[in-house]
Structure 1
Amino acid sequence: MDGQKIKKLSEKAKKLPLLPGVYIMKNRAGEIIYIGKAKALKNRVSSYFRSVEKHLPKVYKMVENVEDFDYIVTDSEFEALVLECSMIKLHSPKYNILLKDDKGYSYIKVTPAPYSRLKAVLQKEDDQAEYIGPYMSSFVVKQTVEEANKVFKLPTCNRKFPQEFRKGRPCLNFHIKQCMGVCKGKISQKDYDEIFAQALEYIKGGGSRSIEAMRRQMEIYAENLQFEKAAQLRDRLKAISKINEQQKVVFASSPEQDIIALQQGENETCAVVLKFRQERLVDKEDFILGGVGNLQESRLEFLLRYYTTRQDIPKKIQLDGEMEDIDIVSQLLSEQAGHKVEVHIPKRGEQLKLVEMAKTNAAEKLSQRTQRTGREVAVLDELARLLGLPKPPGYIEAYDISNIGSETVVGGMIVFENGHPLRKAYRKFNIKTVAGTDDYASMSEVLSRRFQRYLNPQQQDEAFDRLPDLILLDGGKGHVSVITPLLRGMGINVPVFGMVKDDKHRTRAIAAGGGEIAINSSRSAFTLISSIQEEVHRYSIAFSRGRHQKSSFEMSLTKCPRIGQERAAQIYKHFKTIKAIKSATAQELAQVKGMTRPAAEKLYEFLHAQD
């Protein structure tokens, strides 16, 4: 980063007025790369050029490319918001959140007879199939096809009929009563075609009209004593009713609303919009926003970008978290929509469940791009929110001190990457500078040595070559208050928290510098923290026990004539394990550095004296 340039921009920012307005960041070529609004221009713009190294990656990159800035003063924060939206729409700056509607069209594909199938596809193919559509929403198409296949028990497997009748056992869908079992060869093409025609009518004619037609047909079958066919239609109507109950969410006062949630990954953030119309979920949209920084600011920016390009603005919008200027945003959207728009952050009840559903969908979308499960993405996001971190901690280091007596004090470092142990990055530390069993001093030595290796690498070690997103210490706020200033003094700016156990050695809370953060045992973050604490304790105590065993064995070797402490240490260093030492021949023992043939023979006799 060019220090002289930052100083110049900072001086210019200090001369700005403490008034609301819009600021315009430009690069060396004079191109607009970012547009923002401010309640007080001087304060907001100056913040970009202070402590630049502490900015989140996206902001740091933007500031690095800023060569100059301009600004426009407005009469109110509302006018600043309106102007910001208008200018972003006009200029599409590189570092603002820009949404592209790349959903395209979707179709329902009807494969040719015999035994036609229903499929959701993104585009037409040059084949003999019939295509229903196009539809703007791929979500609606997929939902409709899944619903019709379940209700009418149509096959969704890859088998070809009638060629593959009775060539294999029915699949799971048949056994859970979601497929009629065409593969058994007991359903005629005529009967199948009749059911399939009802499915097409259900899709083309609309659910309510199709349901009424099926009810009338069921009554006709019953009057004509065709009870088996009447029962089939009865079961079909029950299936439709069950699906409708699963998919229909009733809101007495809010039949139309959007649910918006953002899920932050390590390098990307996904925004999901669930659209409810006429008391039913009708569409889902998702957007990958790139590496956004502050979620409150990102939530505001996403909301503005999303609705300034759309006419269909509902009366209620539910958000998954806090956002600045909610009242001003509501006013802006109300003027654009021509009716009152309320923006809420639900805290409980059905609305909160819908927000969680939106977050789950966003996590699943991120998981498809990162090769991680949606649960893994969600738990790291939950941990970040719990601890107030700027982003989910994809790379976590945890430390523990363990000892079996004052002679075997050791430290263990483990790493969890994306919620899973990264065992190749585990490291052990022998305590060298601390006398006795002082846990605080021992932890300080371990952390100091670890980050000295990061700051002054003497040899390549991938475990020490990167900074973690989060440091967890097996201990309470005392450990945190000792280690935090130590790392800050070294210039290491990584969040530090402790893992606190109860009297039964189970995780009960997270320790911060000023106190403790309780963790509900039902939360996913609790399970992750507990796993990390158990793993670092296991790793450290195993190392301590190994050291104690080694020390005890070395001491026992010195009871052998001609074997002193130095030779005992060299023997253990040469063979690595007690088993290898006991299995060695006298000739192999003589090859140890500093050993003689007579000493090796004496040691061999000593080791096997009680065999």
Structure 2
Amino acid sequence: MDKIKEILENLPDSPGVYLMKDKSGKIIYVGKAKILKNRVRQYFQSTEDKDPKTRTLVSRIHNIETIVTSTESEALILENTLIKLHKPRYNILLKDDKTYPYIRITTQDLYPKIELTRTIKQDGSRYFGAYTKVSDARKSIEVLRKIFPLRTCKRKIVEADNQRPCLFYHIKLCSAPCAGFISPEDYNEIVKDACRFLEGKQDEVLNRLQEKMQEYSSNMEFEKAASVRDKLISVKNISEKQIVLSTKMEDRDLCALIADEINSLVIVLFVRGGKLMGKNVNIMEKTYDMPEEEVMETFLTQFYGNGREIPPEILLTHKPADVEILEQWMKSLRSKSVRLHKPVRGEKKSQLDLAIKNAEEEFLKYKLNVVYKRENIENALDKLQKVLGLSQSPQRIEAYDISNTGSQGMVSGMVVFEEGQKKPSHYRKFSIKNVDEQNDYACMQEVLYRRLRRLSSDTEDESFKEIPDLILVDGGIGHVHAVEEVLKEVDLNLPIMGMVKNDKHQTERLVNDEHNIELKKEMELLSLIAAIQEEVHRYSISFHRQKRRKSQRKSVLDEIEGIGPKKKKALLKEFGSVKRIREATEEELCMVKGISAKLAKEIKQVLN
């Protein structure tokens, strides 16, 4: 704490960003402040009055770094950039990334394509959505292509290309720019109409199509005029089905925030051309006592700082304190002015009330489906802390399992659960390198040594640089003792438990020298531990099967006449590797089903 006191005494009086780090040097929180000194010191004043999340954060702070900026606006931009880069554990992060589908039109290409995506990138493309269902987004693309024949392929197309057109051209779902059947100028007119349509500006599209139809009719091009007429009818039919919120043809987003004692939800309704085009639901967990205006500001910076389309006006249920700074920041992103507004009466208030009603319904669904599950997980982690006598709830649990067929293709899998949830991006695979025979204990020691020694090195691996709060191994007390030897060797003191299964291969107990926990008596723990054991087993055996298939596909045995897939599989299953087949005698080879004395002699000659 002496180091923290010294940092607090020397904090600047300027605006800027502060980065809080844990004992491993990892950034666990990023914040901005109008006056850094005042804001950072607040965390360490009357900590017993803080919410549980803040108390846990403060207990883990070992260092604080500050970055001074010239203005609050610069601090806002920098904070958003650092949060997206580091994804700190204790920052409020939106839960909707990669969840909702969007329609992307790659307008940066010579011949743009239309496609479905779940990620938004600042790559020059236009994004439309979000759609609550993938099926809705796919249907929109399907309908859109019937009216505006855009390509969906991944072909690289240059001007005046002469490739063979695909089936979509022949069924009138693509203009075939790959075959040079349309110029970039004409194709981009189609792209512009498609974008206007997705923006909700159907009237503009209708007017353009009407003019085009009249032009073709005047020029006696009746076939083309009929084609445009069909498009006109399709656009009119779709327009009639959309909900009209305003007759003034405005573009705006409606942002409604709902919160309880722990979590918050923000729903966004997208209004384009006065019509409701879609919605996006965003969960912000563990906001606790955070002021709702501050929650809204956090949401706006993360949501619109991710490359999404920003309309000229955004209506809010809660107006952030730094609204002018936010408007300046959005203006820099949009290149046009943006107004953030909290209406109190009139048509705009009615629109926002609709967003609030939607938010209330979505929050109720979230509570019923997610919060109950979350509470069970938190109870399980607290129980785990209590029964194992840990100093804190195990936020990061690493589990290990060995998978092999005899001594063939021995591998291990490491899975990670953070706050009781799977974290697949931190899963890792290990091929056993230094164990030549089936020995689970030795394999487990090799894997844990290779993993834990990375803690002391300057590794850039995001998973290996993390210190586990608890290690679980698939096995009994022997596996636990094997890992404890490794912990002594690398000079680490980490809790380790073995996950024991019963005769029916069901998770039964957690064991080490101090504890023998029968999970049937601890039902809060059973589902969590069973899920972890099942996941690490699945991950390890999948890697083992993948490696075995690969070894079976490519082998020097394939070059031997008389050795087919079945005999190769039998040989590898018996001996484990080509090296051991080479070392075997002809008599030993003949013991394998299907291997005759003549074939055994041929194998020895080829391999030697």
Give the TM-score category using the shorter length: 0.3 to 0.5
**Whose radius of gyration is greater, 1 or 2?**
1
**TM-score, normalization by structure 1:** 0.38
